[in-house]
Amino acid sequence: MSSPGCTPLCSLSQFAVLLALVFAKIARTDYPKHWPSLMDDLLAVMGEGDGLRRRRAYLVLHHVLKELSSKRLAADQRTFAEVGPTCR
Q: 3-state SS of 12-64?
A: HHHHHHHHHHHHHHHHHHHCCCCCCCHHHHHHHHHHCCCHHHHHHHHHHHHHH
Please tell me the predicted confidence (pLDDT) of residue 3. 60
Residue pair 38/79 in contact by the 8 Å Cβ criterion: no
First to last CA, the chain: 36
Q: Is residue 20 part of a domain?
A: no
pLDDT tens, residue by residue, 10-55: 888 999 999 999 999 999 999 989 999 999 999 999 998 789 999 9
Q: Is residue 76 part of a domain?
A: yes
- pTM equals 0.76
Number of domains in the chain: 1
Q: Is residue 37 part of a domain?
A: yes
Q: Is residue 22 part of a domain?
A: no
Whether pLDDT at 60 is above 70: yes
Q: Is residue 74 part of a domain?
A: yes
Q: Is residue 63 part of a domain?
A: yes
Q: How far is CA 33 from the centre of its chain?
A: 17
Domain that holds residue 59: 32-88
Whether pLDDT at 88 is above 60: no
2 Cβ contact list (under 8 Å, min separation 6): 10, 11, 14
